[in-house]
Amino acid sequence: MKKPGIVIALATLYVLLFHSSPLMGIPDELIIAMFILSPFIVIYMVFVVLKYGKPSGRTLEEKFYDDYDYRRNEENT
């Protein structure tokens, strides 16, 4: 799968389903199975994002927060 957005959306839906499963009356055995499966889903999501994700064009020194127009303070030493 070469689209990280799809994997992120599916992992997020999985987490939402996992957290709401006790309220929906899902059996405890299935909740435990989902808990055991969750690290593998997160690891796969991280793998896909790191392999197919688009890197930012900026460095950490240029812009501290990539999503906010904030310039890092320069120390005068």
- Closest alpha carbon to 10 in 40, 50, 54, 33: 40
User: What tokens does 53 get?
Assistant: 């994700």
* pLDDT at residue 77, rounded to an integer: 47
* pLDDT at residue 23, rounded to an integer: 95
Cα 46–Cα 11–Cα 26 angle in degrees, nearest 5: 140
- Positive or negative: CA dihedral 55, 59, 60, 64: negative
CA dihedral 51, 53, 56, 61 (to 10 degrees): -40
The type of residue at 22 is: P
User: What tokens does 56 get?
Assistant: 């930012």
- pLDDT tens digits for range 22-77: 999 999 999 999 999 999 999 999 999 999 988 777 776 666 666 666 666 666 54
